[in-house]
């Protein structure tokens, strides 16, 4: 089961919404960082 596209998609959606709608929530930097790290690790492990 490939999970990395979901994490990558969630990161891209949240970063896009944050830029367009000035979206901010508690711990948004931490959540974005964790999503990016998880997606990156899963992409690397996929190979």
The CA-CA-CA angle for residues 34, 12, 24, to 5°, reads 70
pLDDT of residue 47: 61
Structure confidence at residue 1 (pLDDT): 64
Say how far apart CA 38 and CA 42 lie, in whole Å: 6
Query: DSSP assignment, residue 24?
Result: -
> For residue 17, what pLDDT is reported?
77
- For the full predicted model, state whether its pTM sits above 0.75: no
In a structure prediction context, what are the per-residue pLDDT tens digits for the chain, which is 47 residues long? 677 788 788 888 888 877 787 777 788 788 888 888 888 787 788 76
Please, are residues 10 and 16 in contact by the beta-carbon 8 Å criterion? no
């Amino acid at each position: 089961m490939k999970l990395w596209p979901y994490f990558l998609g969630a990161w891209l959606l949240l970063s896009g919404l944050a830029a367009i709608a000035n979206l901010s929530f508690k711990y948004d930097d931490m959540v974005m960082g964790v999503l990016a790290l998880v997606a990156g690790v899963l992409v690397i492990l996929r190979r």
